[in-house]
Amino acid sequence: MGTCKILIVDDELIMRESLAGWLERDGHEIDTAASGEEALRKLKDTRFDILLVDIKMEGISGLDVLKQVKENDPDVAVIMITAYGSISTAIEAMKSGAYDYLLKPFDPGELGVVIEKIMEHQAQTRENLFLKEQHRDATRFESMISQSQPMQKIFDLIGDVAPTNSTVLITGETGTGKGLAAKAIHSNSPRCEGPFVVVNCGAFPEHLLESELFGYQKGAFTDAKTTKKGRLELAHGGTLFLDEIGEISMRMQIDLLRVLEDRVFYRLGGTQPIEADFRVIAATNKDLEEAIRNRTFREDLFYRLNVICFTMPPLRLRKEDIPLLAELFLRRFAQETNKQIDQISREAMDELMLYEWPGNVRELENAIERAVVVGKGRKIMPEDLPIFRPALSEPPPAGTLKEVEKRHIAGTLERNDWNIRRSAQILGIDRSTLYGKIKRYTIRKQD
Amino acid sequence: MSSSEGQSIILSPVGKVQREILDPILRAIPQAFGFCARTIALLDGVDFAFDRTRVQYHSTPILKKLAMAAPPQALKVIAVTEVDLFIPILTYVYGEAQLGGKACILSTHRLRDALSPPKNQNIYLERVVKEAIHELGHTFNLRHCQDPVCIMHYCHSIKDVDRKNDQFCRYCKVLLQDELNRLEAGLQSQSQLDHP
């Protein structure tokens, strides 16, 4: 089992402490809240995978916490805990979207089993999202176009690095095109005729990632009906792209380090050593050096990956690329939707240029796609980009880029009643990025 | 695995604990962690942790007292008791440990389940040793391991305890060695401060 981020909400200190201590030994990251109010405050700043909520609390009850959480982010799993176990409360909690219901005190194994099931389910959801994104990325390669200075430097770097066999670590915000840069390195390398194998390390639960990477022999475990090659083996002669490397568990880090050192591994249940020749490119939007300090990432693996490192610039630092990219996306989506839209009006382009694009190129792509869908004429007009209009109708905001971005995110959240899923969709970023920005800018709900 | 001069792991019986239970633990500790082990009774009793409603002993206050009672040269302390332990959220625990801390405790109370002594005394002693090393593993910052045969695997039932080995899996060995290296480095810099 991997680990996840859990918030314990209970008004009894002793319960919070004992549960926190217990779950920490399973390796989970734990935070606690002494009331429903504190829990809701913490949820504004941080995204949790699982909430353990006591039903009976003073003030905002556990059921109210559950309802608010489910309204804002239905993907968060909530387990209700109570000493007052009545069927009616349980039914009400389940109807309101609780994942499960436990009576305290419970048997030591009970909670672990529920958490394991939730993690499997959440990992499955992430994998599905990843597969959709990967399918979409197949058509996005052309969006590596640029006329900006920062991207020209990246192109030069890619040109220098591609012919070598060195391991590359690509960092950068979500949506900046780390995957595209990895693909570009591969395509310009002597390995370009070989496979480009992508592994999204954050999309699999630990045991699945293990079998995905290493493969397995027939009979290695109950469902292993046939022998299956892992992605390490499939990458032979080509490039292995380890996306979201910062999400990998400590166990897998140990295995991966060994493979990177020896270039030899075994399939699960296998006894024959397998040698594979592949180049490794890893990417992350996490600060790995901070992860090393927090002991969640191995220093030796970091140095093994960090042979050549570069950071993809955010779109706000290369705004001169916006017209180029916007035109490109416009042509593509107009063709896909069979619509006669071939221009972006000057006013609409002004809006695109003024916006800070926290979700980077991916957010711009989403915005143009939406504009093509809702556009009526041949030109994209500002009203086809409704999300930007309120900001422009107000007096031009003064301040730094960060302040403008903060205001825009806060405005979007307020206009959407802090519905995280909807706001993230409008901003064209994923929910975890939005949570990260809410936390970074300490954006709070207006009363 | 390395050992540092003067540092040892203390095994502290709480209440009446038979010598034949303590000896296998004493032998297993150096093999697992590379530090010598010795027996010192650090607590007079654990009545202060007794809960009348549950008729069990709350392990957390025992741990706190144990850590405070530990002598300075004690790297870690493990208490062994025959009383039934609990933490408030759970019905019972086999033991509890301060993750990355100094103290841990093991209860032998439920480890006799499904056994008819003295015939199965060996199995019982194996369980005791496995769970003692497991709890001490937590004090060396090891989390629960998903490998069902690793000693750091969390056991839902006594059957799970019997199924697992008395050894760390290869992952936990690496993580333990990392922690031992960190401890070693910390002890060396402390010694340089003490004897410049």
Task: Look at residues A91, A121, A151 and tell me which one is the last residue of a structural domain.
Answer: A121
pLDDT in tens, A238-274: 999 999 999 998 889 999 999 999 889 999 988 888 9
- Taking an 8 Å cut-off on Cβ atoms, the answer to whether A108 and B91 are in contact is yes
Residue B118 lies in a domain: yes
d(C-alpha A130, C-alpha A113), whole Å: 26
For residue B2, give both structure tokens. Answer: 């390395």
Higher-pLDDT residue of B28 and A59 is: B28
Instruction: Please state, rounded to an integer, the average pLDDT across all residues of chain A.
Output: 86
Tell whether A107 lies on the interface with B, counting CB pairs under 8 A. yes
Residues of A in contact with B131 (CB under 8 A): none
Half-sphere exposure of A278 (CA within 13 A, CB side): 29
What residues of chain A lie within 8 A of the CB of B61, using their CB? none
A182 lies in some domain: yes
A199 and A145 in one domain? yes
What b/e sequence results for B147-182 when a residue is b if at least 16 CB atoms lie within 10 Å of its CB, and e otherwise? Answer: beebbbbbbeebeebeebebebbebbebbbebbbee
Count of domains observed in chain B: 1
CATH assignment of the domain containing B85: 3.40.390.10
CA–CA separation, B29 vs B14, rounded Å? 18
Cα of A2 to nearest chain B Cα, Å: 8
On whether any CB of chain B is under 8 Å from the CB of A221, the answer is no
Label residues A264-285 b or e (16+ Cβ within 10 Å = b).
Answer: ebbbbbbeeebebebbbbbbbb
Structural domain of B76: 8-194
Please list every residue in chain B whose beta carbon sits closer than 8 Å to the beta carbon of residue A112. Answer: 154, 156
User: Is A319 domain-assigned?
Assistant: no
Residues A202, A307 within the same domain: yes
- pLDDT reported for residue B2: 46
How far from B85 is each of A73, A83, A123, A329, B108, CA to CA, in Å?
Answer: 38, 20, 35, 64, 9
In a domain, A126, yes or no: no
Domain boundary among A313, A341, A371: A313
Alpha-carbon distance B144 to nearest alpha carbon in chain A (angstroms): 5
- Give A402-416 pLDDT, tens digit per residue: 778 888 888 888 877
For the stretch B73-104, pLDDT in tens is 899 999 999 999 999 999 999 999 999 999 99
Residue A370 sits in a domain whose CATH number is 1.10.8.60
In the prediction, which pLDDT does A87 show? 66
- Residue B174 sits at the vertex; the CA angle it makes with B171 and B175, to the nearest 5 degrees, is 85
In this structure, the answer to whether residues A36 and A177 fall within a common structural domain is: no
Is residue B82 among the annotated active site residues?
no
Cβ–Cβ under 8 Å, residues B108 and B82:
yes
A431 shares its domain with A290: no
At B24 the pLDDT is 97
Residue owning tokens 């004897």? B195
B82, B96, B135, B184: the catalytic one is: B135
Q: What is the pLDDT of residues A134-171, one digit of tens each?
A: 665 554 445 578 888 889 899 999 999 999 999 999 99
Question: How many C-beta atoms surround the C-beta of residue B125 within 10 A?
Answer: 17
Q: Which of A313, A337, A364 is the last residue of a domain?
A: A313
One domain for residues A290 and A189: yes
How far is Cα B75 from Cα B102, in angstroms, rounded to an integer? 7
For the ranges A103-112, A434-443, B37-46, the maximum mean pLDDT occurs at B37-46
- Per cent of chain B over pLDDT 70 is 91
* B66 has a pLDDT exceeding 90: yes
Contacts of B64 in chain A (CB under 8 A): none
The C-alpha of B118 sits at a distance from chain A's nearest C-alpha, in angstroms, of: 28
Tell me the pLDDT band of A40, cut-offs 50, 70 and 90. Answer: very high
Nearest-by-Cβ selection for B144 from A27, A104, A255: A27
Alpha carbon distance B61, B96 (integer Å): 11
pLDDT at B3: 47
Same domain, A173 and A260: yes
Q: Do A253 and A359 belong together in one domain?
A: no
A269 vs B: CB within 8 A? no
Tens digits of per-residue pLDDT, B137-169?
999 999 999 889 999 998 888 888 999 999 999
| Residue B3, in any domain of the structure | no
Q: Is residue A321 part of a domain?
A: no
Asked if this assembly's ipTM is beyond 0.90, the reply is no
